[in-house]
């Protein structure tokens, strides 16, 4: 990996601090680097302003001149009532070089941000960065497909069950896995369960980790009926295109909701928390329409596996 790729990956890791409070803007990370040393860093702030580049350049002041700016997303080129464009801020700061990890599909910026920086005599280049693209997955899907990035979480026993035959499900997994789930909630704009889960468990779906309570996502339920106060209704998985301002959706259960999203082909990432127990109870998924085993192969790629206490987490990405 080149130095540029490593710095872009570092900026992408920094961008994670912006989620989900930067909504409706994407969570972007920026690093100012000179002679292998970080001069300043920034990420998109609450409610989308200031942008990552503005934060980093503001912290650096005059020392930004002659440095290299690494930014995960092409700097915006359009003027806003809330502040100047990042492309203009960069032109004024005069870093010697700008490296962008992902081009912006927003037609107000697409290509224009890069062109404006180059027109100011600053060396600027786009270097395709998988880390940056991954960090912006929700934003990119909203801009290109009009829908959020969807993560499906399943907490399963070794025999693939989410509950006892009686319906008892608290708790399949241990404390470490549950804490990790709360951390994943804190990175999401919205969280969804099925109507059966809402009626049976009345889940809070908030974030119960010290210091992260304010990052609790908005609550949604997959139903065509009425919902309690504080909840939002989604009639069908395909209607996620109507979830305005939502870049990251976390689907947390139960079997009906999980199956519906898989059947609709709208799951981008799977989080499978597997507990070392056998319960012989209710399966985590229902039949979702595969007519041959060959249709199931090649759909998912394992990207991470780790131990969480006595449980195991497996993360899969849709191919």
CATH number, domain containing residue 112: 3.40.140.10
Per-residue pLDDT band at 84 (split at 50, 70, 90): confident
Among residues 106, 140, 174, the one where a domain terminates is 140
170 and 267 part of one domain: yes
Cβ-based neighbours of 194, under 8 Å, separated by 6 or more: 221, 222, 223, 253, 254, 255, 256, 257, 258, 260
User: How many C-beta neighbours within 10 Å does residue 232 have?
Assistant: 13
What confidence tens digit (pLDDT) does each residue in 258-294 have?
999 999 999 999 999 999 999 888 888 888 777 777 7
Is there a contact between 68 and 44 (Cβ–Cβ < 8 Å)? Answer: no
Full-model pTM: 0.91
27 and 134 part of one domain: yes
Query: Looking at the predicted structure, is the pLDDT value of residue 163 above 90?
Result: no
**What is the pLDDT averaged over residues 47-53?**
91
Among 39-48, 94-103, 200-209, 290-299, which stretch is predicted with the lowest mean pLDDT?
290-299
Among 7-16, 18-27, 33-42, which stretch is predicted with the lowest mean pLDDT?
18-27
Q: Is 108 helix (H, G, I), strand (E, B) or coil?
A: coil
152 and 130 part of one domain: no
Is there a contact between 148 and 138 (Cβ–Cβ < 8 Å)? Answer: yes
Query: Looking at the predicted structure, is the pLDDT value of residue 160 above 80?
Result: yes
Rounded distance between C-alpha atoms, residue 67 and residue 58, angstroms: 14
**Per-residue confidence (pLDDT) for residue 40, from 0 to 100:** 97
Half-sphere exposure of 94 (CA within 13 A, CB side): 6
CA-based nearest residue to 70, from 127, 17, 26, 31: 31
Among residues 109, 140, 171, the one where a domain terminates is 140
Query: Looking at the predicted structure, is the pLDDT value of residue 168 above 90?
Result: no
Q: For 83, which DSSP code? A: B
136 and 151 part of one domain: no
Query: Concatenated DSSP letters for 14-72?
Result: HHGGGTTTTTTS---EEEEEETTEEEEEEE--GGG-S-HHHHHHHHHGGGGTT-EEEES
Among residues 140, 174, 192, the one where a domain terminates is 140
Question: What order of strands is seen across the sheet that includes strand 311-318?
Answer: 231-234, 218-222, 190-194, 248-253, 149-156, 269-274, 311-318, 300-308
Cβ-based neighbours of 82, under 8 Å, separated by 6 or more: 48, 49
**Which one from 53, 74, 134, 252 is the annotated catalytic residue?**
53
Rounded distance between C-alpha atoms, residue 83 and residue 91, angstroms: 15
Q: Where are the alpha helices (DSSP H) in the chain?
A: 3-15, 52-60, 86-93, 112-119, 130-135, 137-145, 175-185, 195-201, 255-263
Query: Structurally, how many domains does the chain consist of?
Result: 2
Q: Which two tokens stand for residue 299?
A: 């759909």
User: How many C-beta neighbours within 10 Å does residue 279 have?
Assistant: 19
Query: Looking at the predicted structure, is the pLDDT value of residue 82 above 80?
Result: no
Is there a contact between 309 and 276 (Cβ–Cβ < 8 Å)? Answer: no
In this structure, what CATH number is given to the domain that contains residue 153?
A: 3.40.430.10
Please give the share of the chain, as a percent, with pLDDT higher than 70: 98
What confidence tens digit (pLDDT) does each residue in 214-268 have?
889 999 999 998 888 999 999 999 999 989 889 999 999 788 999 999 999 999 9
Q: Is 281 helix (H, G, I), strand (E, B) or coil?
A: coil
Q: What is the mean pLDDT of the chain?
A: 91
189 and 270 part of one domain: yes
103 and 173 part of one domain: no
Full domain range(s) for residue 118: 3-140
171 and 243 part of one domain: yes
166 and 312 part of one domain: yes
Please give the share of the chain, as a percent, with pLDDT higher than 90: 71
Per-residue pLDDT band at 27 (split at 50, 70, 90): very high
56 and 77 part of one domain: yes
Rounded distance between C-alpha atoms, residue 246 and residue 183, angstroms: 18
165 and 282 part of one domain: yes
**Per-residue confidence (pLDDT) for residue 36, from 0 to 100:** 93
What confidence tens digit (pLDDT) does each residue in 110-130 have?
999 999 999 999 999 999 999
Whether 53 sits among the annotated catalytic residues: the reply is yes
155 and 15 part of one domain: no
**Per-residue confidence (pLDDT) for residue 138, from 0 to 100:** 96
User: In Å, how far are 144, 190, 204, 210 from 241, measured between CA atoms?
Assistant: 11, 13, 24, 33
19 and 161 part of one domain: no
**What is the pLDDT averaged over residues 9-31?**
94
């Amino acid at each position: 990996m080149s130095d540029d790729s490593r710095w872009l990956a570092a900026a992408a890791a920094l961008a994670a601090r912006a989620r989900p409070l930067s909504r409706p803007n994407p969570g972007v990370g920026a690093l100012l680097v000179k002679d292998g040393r970080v001069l300043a860093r920034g990420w998109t702030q609450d409610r989308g302003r200031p942008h990552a580049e503005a934060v980093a350049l503001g912290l650096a002041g005059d020392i930004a001149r002659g440095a290299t700016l690494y930014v995960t997303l092409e700097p915006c080129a359009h003027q806003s009532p809330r502040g100047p464009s990042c492309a203009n801020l960069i032109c004024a700061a005069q870093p010697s070089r700008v490296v962008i990890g992902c081009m912006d599909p927003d037609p107000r910026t697409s290509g224009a941000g890069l062109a404006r920086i180059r027109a100011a005599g600053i060396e600027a280049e786009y270097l395709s960065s998988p880390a940056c693209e991954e960090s912006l997955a929700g934003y990119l899907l909203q801009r290109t497909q009009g829908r959020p990035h969807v993560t499906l979480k399943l907490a399963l026993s070794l025999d693939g069950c989410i509950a006892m035959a009686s319906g008892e499900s608290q708790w399949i997994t241990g404390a470490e896995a549950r804490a990790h789930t709360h951390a994943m909630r804190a990175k999401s704009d919205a969280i969804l369960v099925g109507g059966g889960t809402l009626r049976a468990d009345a889940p809070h779906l908030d974030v119960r980790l010290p210091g992260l309570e304010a990052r609790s996502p908005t609550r949604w339920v997959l139903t065509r009926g009425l919902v309690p106060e504080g909840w939002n209704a989604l009639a069908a998985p395909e209607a996620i295109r109507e979830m305005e301002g939502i870049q990251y959706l976390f689907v947390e259960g139960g079997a009906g909701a999980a199956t519906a999203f898989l059947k609709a082909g709208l799951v981008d990432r799977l989080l499978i928390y597997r507990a070392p127990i056998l319960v012989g109870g209710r399966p985590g998924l229902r039949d979702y329409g595969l007519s041959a085993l060959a249709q199931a192969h090649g759909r998912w790629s394992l990207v991470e596996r780790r131990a969480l206490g006595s449980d195991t987490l497996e993360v899969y990405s849709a191919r």
